[in-house]
């Protein structure tokens, strides 16, 4: 029986990675040829290539598949890309759902590698391309701003407690204030660098200016979203984006019992955190159609946070649509659409 393709699944961690080589034939039967474990280093990468050459003897398409988890996959993906190897990187939740469909209930590095190898054998997956330097820098800077903001909040809470405790210590208070001042200075410097990164890339700057026409949406928020999604490179549709950000709805219903419906929050928390303030701004500035959506949700649920969460989700999808189409936000778009529809009905 003729073989069609080799699939190499790679489950990667900080210190090592596990690999599995599988092959699929004309009857769509997948066979595991070999498994191995290697150091996550240049030496380990070379040993893996020798291992692949040893077992992939036929001249067939050979595709490497790994998950976009953390930063540990980046060096191996780049190593393979530089050597003209076919590399695919997918979102972790997509790989998880596929492995669940195979009935793989246990989770180990070797099992995950086998699941990825079978997945790349059976499916066509979009080839990976390295993140642009600008977007990679945005991710480093925006995450550092997030960490610093968290520290500032903690120090301010500590300072408040120190100023209201029974026996005050002015030395500790002074040190805490100095820490807050230093962190705020660092945060401001990083925010300026983020703007510089955007301004230095003409294509990036153009898209930022178009999307930031949305009143209440700033450069910092958009920078987080673009950095965390790699400019939406791994996102294929709205549903996948919503799931990746953790806004997908989880229902709890069985028979006559109906439990609470909530968002999963099993996704990129950086995106949800970044969209919190813009969602408040959409309602505060009465932006269409966000304020109407908030009103409907609030009237139905009587819970403000549900309304704001719905606004976050809608705003994220709008950003995704504008970015992919490279279009400028038009605040009167919905009014124009409604007018065209009304004319068509007359």
Query: Do the Cβ atoms of 152 and 179 come closer than 8 Å?
Result: no
- What value does the mean pLDDT take over residues 327-337? 72
Please tell me whether residues 211 and 241 are part of one structural domain: yes
DSSP state of 325: H
Please tell me whether residues 17 and 59 are part of one structural domain: yes
Per-residue pLDDT, 150: 96
Structure confidence at residue 24 as a pLDDT band (50, 70, 90):
very high
Please tell me whether residues 231 and 268 are part of one structural domain: yes
Pick from 108, 143, 121: nearest CA to 26: 121
Per-residue pLDDT, 340: 39
Describe the crossing of helices 304-325 and 202-211 by its angle, rounded to 10 degrees. Answer: 140
Percent helix, percent strand, percent coil in the chain, to nearest 5: 60, 15, 30
Pick from 26, 21, 105: nearest CA to 62: 21
Per-residue pLDDT, 22: 95
Please tell me whether residues 208 and 252 are part of one structural domain: yes
Is 275 inside a domain boundary?
Answer: yes
Is 127 inside a domain boundary?
Answer: no
d(CA 134, CA 125): 25
Describe the crossing of helices 202-211 and 170-200 by its angle, rounded to 10 degrees. Answer: 110
Tell me, what CATH number does 76's domain have? 3.30.420.10
Per-residue pLDDT, 78: 93
pTM tops 0.85, yes or no:
no
CB atoms within 10 A of CB 98: 17
Top-confidence residue, 340 or 154: 154
- Lowest mean pLDDT across 73-77, 91-95, 121-125, 312-316: 91-95
Query: Do the Cβ atoms of 1 and 26 come closer than 8 Å?
Result: yes
Please tell me whether residues 98 and 228 are part of one structural domain: no
Domain count, the chain: 3
Q: Where are the alpha helices (DSSP H) in 18-64?
A: 42-55
Per-residue pLDDT, 250: 72
Is the pLDDT confidence value at 253 over 70?
no
Out of 174, 200, 226, pick the residue that ends a domain.
200
Is 41 inside a domain boundary?
Answer: yes
Is 185 inside a domain boundary?
Answer: yes
Structure confidence at residue 71 as a pLDDT band (50, 70, 90):
confident
Sequence-ordered list of residues with C-beta below 8 angstroms from that of 84, at least 6 positions apart, any chain: none
* Residue 116, SS3 per DSSP: helix
Top-confidence residue, 255 or 241: 241
Please tell me whether residues 235 and 188 are part of one structural domain: no
Query: Do the Cβ atoms of 310 and 297 come closer than 8 Å?
Result: yes
Is 55 inside a domain boundary?
Answer: yes
Sequence-ordered list of residues with C-beta below 8 angstroms from that of 238, at least 6 positions apart, any chain: 317, 320, 321
- What value does the mean pLDDT take over residues 207-236? 92
Please tell me whether residues 234 and 340 are part of one structural domain: yes
Which pLDDT tens digit goes with each residue over 293-325?
999 999 999 999 999 999 999 999 999 999 999
> Range of 190's domain?
132-200
Is the pLDDT confidence value at 257 over 60?
no
Is 107 inside a domain boundary?
Answer: yes
Please tell me whether residues 306 and 228 are part of one structural domain: yes
Top-confidence residue, 102 or 84: 84
Out of 87, 122, 157, pick the residue that ends a domain.
122
Please tell me whether residues 343 and 274 are part of one structural domain: yes
- What value does the mean pLDDT take over residues 110-132? 91
Top-confidence residue, 245 or 104: 245
Per-residue pLDDT, 202: 93
CA distances to 141, 214, 266, 303, 311 from 210, in Å: 22, 8, 30, 33, 20
Q: What is the rounded average pLDDT for all residues in the chain?
A: 89
d(CA 85, CA 36): 19
Question: What percent of the chain lies above the pLDDT cut of 90?
Answer: 71
Please tell me whether residues 165 and 211 are part of one structural domain: no
Is the pLDDT confidence value at 252 over 50?
yes
Out of 101, 122, 143, pick the residue that ends a domain.
122
Please tell me whether residues 156 and 225 are part of one structural domain: no
Q: Is 230 left (phi over 0), alpha (psi -120 to 50) or beta?
A: left
Token pair listed for 256: 């006559």
Is the pLDDT confidence value at 344 over 50?
no
Pick from 96, 2, 87, 102: nearest CA to 52: 87
Top-confidence residue, 109 or 149: 149
Is 236 inside a domain boundary?
Answer: yes
Exposure b/e, 245-283, CB count within 10 A at least 16 = b: bbbbeeeeeeeeeeeeeebeeebbebbbebbebbbbbbb
DSSP state of 302: -
**Strand pairing partners for 30?**
24
Structure confidence at residue 337 as a pLDDT band (50, 70, 90):
very low
Please tell me whether residues 268 and 309 are part of one structural domain: yes
Is the pLDDT confidence value at 227 over 70?
yes
Per-residue pLDDT, 111: 87
Is 172 inside a domain boundary?
Answer: yes
């Amino acid at each position: 029986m003729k073989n069609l393709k080799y699939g190499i699944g790679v489950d990667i961690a900080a210190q090592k990675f596990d690999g599995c080589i599988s092959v699929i034939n004309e009857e769509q039967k997948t066979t595991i040829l070999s498994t191995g474990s290697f150091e996550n280093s240049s030496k380990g990468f070379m040993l893996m290539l020798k291992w692949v050459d040893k077992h992939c003897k036929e001249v067939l398409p050979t595709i490497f598949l790994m998950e976009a988890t953390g930063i540990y996959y980046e060096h191996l993906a780049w190593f393979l890309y530089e050597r003209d190897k076919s590399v695919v990187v997918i979102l972790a939740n997509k790989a998880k759902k596929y492995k669940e469909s195979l009935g793989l209930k246990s989770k180990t590095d070797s099992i995950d590698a086998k699941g990825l190898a079978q997945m790349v054998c059976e499916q066509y997956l979009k080839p990976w391309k390295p993140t642009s330097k600008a977007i990679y820098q945005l991710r480093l800077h925006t995450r550092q701003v997030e960490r610093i903001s968290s520290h500032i909040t903690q120090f301010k809470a500590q300072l408040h407690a120190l100023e209201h405790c029974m026996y005050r210590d002015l030395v500790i208070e002074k040190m805490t204030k100095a820490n807050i001042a230093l962190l705020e200075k660092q945060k401001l410097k990083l925010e300026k660098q983020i703007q510089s990164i955007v301004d230095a890339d003409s294509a990036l700057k153009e898209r930022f200016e178009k999307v930031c026409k949305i009143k209440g949406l700033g450069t910092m928020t958009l920078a987080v979203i673009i950095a965390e999604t790699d400019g939406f490179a791994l996102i294929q549709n709205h549903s996948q984006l919503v799931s990746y950000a953790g806004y997908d709805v989880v229902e709890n219903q069985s028979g006559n019992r109906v439990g609470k419906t909530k968002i999963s929050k099993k996704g990129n928390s950086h995106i949800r955190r970044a969209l919190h303030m813009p969602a408040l701004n959409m309602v505060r500035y009465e932006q269409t159609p966000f304020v109407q959506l908030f009103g409907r949700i609030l009237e139905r649920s009587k819970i403000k946070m549900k309304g704001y969460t719905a606004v976050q989700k809608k705003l994220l999808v709008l950003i995704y649509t504008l970015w992919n189409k490279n279009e400028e936000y038009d605040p009167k778009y919905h009014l124009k659409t409604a007018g065209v529809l009304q004319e068509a009905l007359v």
